[in-house]
Structure formats: structure tokens, C-alpha cells
Amino acid sequence: MSARYRIAVIPGDGIGREVVPEGLRCLRRAAETHDFALDVVEFDFASAAYWERHGTMLPGDWQPTLEAFDAIYFGAVGWPAVVPDHVSLWGSLLRFRRVFDQYVNLRPVRLLPGVRGPLAGRAPGDVDFVVVRENTEGEYSSVGGRVFEGTEREIVLQETVMTRHGVDRVLRFAFEYARGREARHLTSATKSNGIAISMPYWDERVEAVGRDYPDVDRDKYHIDALAAHFVLNPDRFDVVVASNLFGDILSDLGPACTGTLGIAPSANINPERRYPSLFEPVHGSAPDIAGRGIANPIGQIWCGAMMLEHLGEPDAAAALLSAVEAVLAGPADALTPDLGGAGTTTQLGTAIAARVGSTT
Ligand code: NAI
Ligand code: MG
């Protein structure tokens, strides 16, 4: 019997509503050609329209509702003309990440054919790495406060929180991930020269966890130098693991080194699979182009491939990515304007779907 996966689909706002249907078109095609089934249920919450009707971003029972699914396929949330960004983001996506303990944020950085990257002299194949960001603790803590506010004695403190549990589990994920790749190379982002308490601890844990992975080469760079190397020597990297803040920066810098925001995917993963993981493009709702049918659907399609990989369908995931590469390498007129073409979201999505399963 072929496998069956339950997918919760949340298009959200703006171009999320335009690119999600193209992502689904490609996922359905991957299911047909690779003999598995997708049960897709679409939800209208986590959107400005829902907020306007209900005054909240999510229904009270969102947690048990979404927990019943194998994965969440997410578009983008945010429509600042209707609901302030901190309300829409903290009221939806960030709650999913926390409550579902999606402690790994995974962002592939790969230069694809047909995409003009900003780095001179780099060809597809030169840049192919993954950023693994710790997604729940570290520098983004709510421990701290202000004392003597508004006076000359004003004090502001915000603590970094690193727990052995939290650090080790993301490192272990990164080592396992590196082990599954050809290069088997893990780079750790640190700053133990300047941040002299928490970062040496991070380094120590990399050493300790790394002992269980003698087959994975490891090195470390201070975050400032690492940022420079992303631009100057991106071919050095395979898997890069970083704390929440460093990972946040690197996971935007990395994809920026490979071209348009429209193609970058990401995954928020609960590796133990106690909760569903969430797959989304890196971009937001793009109010400036929403409604015009010109958004690039590739970020949404590529994160669909990451979802299939996570669900245990690596062949289908690879087929989806090959289809993206084949279409990008083909005539530019089928591509969306951000890629230099004159195509629409639907045309590009349809062209990619048609190639799924027909490339090897
Ligand atoms: P954005 O990513 O929506 O747009 C930035 C720029 O990139 C815009 O010029 C847009 O037209 C372009 N762009 C983005 N995706 C594209 C695509 N697929 N194809 C072609 N061009 C694309 O970021 P912005 O404008 O800062 O935020 C807009 C809204 O999205 C805000 O409400 C923000 O909070 C939200 N947002 C949500 C995210 C999420 O759901 N994870 C992530 C980032 C922003
Ligand atoms: Mg960011």
C-alpha cells in the first residue's frame, strides 16, 4: 500500500495565496508520479482576513487541529495595512514554531542554473550548502528588563539563554544532517573571542557532540569572518550550524548570495516528529506585487520538496528540485519578472509541474 500524508495548508496573505496553489500543483504531480497520496486540508486562519473577521489570528483550537497533520505547508503571513506585523507574526507563525517545538530552522543555499546570483564568477555547483539555525533559545530570550527607566541610571539587560538540552539537540541534528551529505563537513558559527561565556560553551558542546561523529569534518569561524566567507568563499561550506541570532543573519545572507528572494525555501523542523514541522518560503506576503500574478512560486515549490524529504519521500523531493532546475535552465520567457522573464506565477508553476517525473 502506498503511503498517505496529511498536509495542513495555510496560504496566509498576499502572494502566499498565489504561490501556494502552484506549490500544491507540483506536490500533487510528485505524488502521482511517485506513488503516494496527499490528503490536503486548507485553512483560512493566520491571515489578515481572518483577523478582520475574528479579532485574532488563530482559532482557539488551532493546536489540536494542526497536530493531527503530518506537516504544515505555509505561504506567508502579514498585511501591515490591516494588522501590525508584530501582531500577525507573533499571533501565528511564531506560535507554531514554539508550541510545536520546531527547534531547527533549515535553509538551503544553492546557486541554481539560470539565476543571476550577485557573486561574480560563481556557477551552479559552486554554492551548495545548508544553514541550520537554532530556533527556540539563545540570544532571543525574554530574560531581562529595564531598571531606572528614563533616568540617568537607566539599565537595560537582555540575557542569552543556552541550555545543554537546546544546544545539543540542534548540534546533533546538524551533525546527522552533515553525515547524510556527500561532503560530511560541519562548520560552526561562534564568537568566543568576544562573547566570552556563552560562545565558548557553544564551542565546547560542538566538540563534545562532535565526538559521536568522527566521520564528519568540523571547523568553526567567528561570525564576522564567517559572514565575509559566505560572500568570498561560499564553496567552503556544506552544513553551517549557528545559534538563533547568528543563524538568523546567516540564513538571510546565504540565500541572498544565490539570487532572488523568490526562490529561497525554509523548513521549521521538530526532528522527533512529536509535532508537525512547517515548510515555508523565506519571502513574505509581498504587498507591493500581490494580486498581479507575477510572484515567483519557486520558493514555495522548493519548500514543498523539503517537506517531501522530511516525510520520507526523497525521490519525489529530488524530482521536484530537478524539475525546478530544468525549467530555470530553459528559455527565460517562462520565468517570472524577478528572474528576468515575462511569465506569470501560474505559467511558471505549471511549467515546473509538467517536468516533475519527466526529468531524471
Ligand atoms: P517580502 O519578502 O514580502 O518582500 C520583499 C521584496 O521581495 C518585495 O519587493 C517583494 O515584491 C519581493 N518578493 C518577495 N517574494 C517574492 C516572490 N516570490 N517573487 C517575486 N518577488 C518577491 O518582505 P516585506 O515586504 O518586508 O514584508 C511584507 C509582509 O510579509 C510583512 O507583513 C512581513 O511581516 C511579512 N513577512 C512574512 C514572512 C513569513 O510569513 N514568514 C517572512 C517575511 C515577511
Ligand atoms: Mg531573518
CATH number of 132's domain: 3.40.718.10
Average pLDDT per consecutive 10 residues, the chain (360 residues; last block may be shorter): 93 98 98 97 98 97 98 98 94 93 96 88 91 95 93 96 98 97 97 97 98 98 97 96 96 89 95 97 96 97 98 96 95 90 96 83
Q: What is the pTM of this model?
A: 0.94
Say which ligand is closest to the CA of 285: 1
| CA distance linking residue 93 with residue 266, whole number of Å | 13
Question: In this predicted structure, what is the pLDDT of residue 358?
Answer: 77
Alpha helices in 137-222 (DSSP H): 164-179, 198-210
Quick one: which of 97, 224, 243, 98 has its CA closest to 161? Answer: 243
Q: ipTM of the predicted structure?
A: 0.98
Question: In this predicted structure, what is the pLDDT of residue 125?
Answer: 86
Which residues crowd ion ligand 2, with CB under 5 Å?
248, 252
Residue count (the chain):
360
Question: In this predicted structure, what is the pLDDT of residue 334?
Answer: 86
Residues 95 and 175 in one domain: no
Q: Which of 257, 287, 322 is the last residue of a domain?
A: 257
| CA distance linking residue 271 with residue 310, whole number of Å | 9
Question: In this predicted structure, what is the pLDDT of residue 352?
Answer: 97
Which one is catalytic: 177, 191, 238, 338? Answer: 191
Residues 359 and 333 in one domain: yes
Report whether residue 280 contacts ligand 1, using a CB cutoff of 6 Å: yes
Residues 243 and 276 in one domain: no
Report whether residue 338 contacts ligand 1, using a CB cutoff of 6 Å: yes
Residues 101 and 162 in one domain: no
Pocket-testing residue among 115, 251, 285, 296, ligand 1, by greatest number of atoms within 8 A of Cβ: 285
- For the chain, how many structural domains are there in total? 2
Which one is catalytic: 44, 85, 212, 224? Answer: 224
Q: Which of 198, 224, 257 is the last residue of a domain?
A: 257
Range of the domain at 75: 1-108+260-360
| CA distance linking residue 231 with residue 258, whole number of Å | 10
Q: Is 324 helix (H, G, I), strand (E, B) or coil?
A: helix
Active site includes 101? no
Question: In this predicted structure, what is the pLDDT of residue 359?
Answer: 52
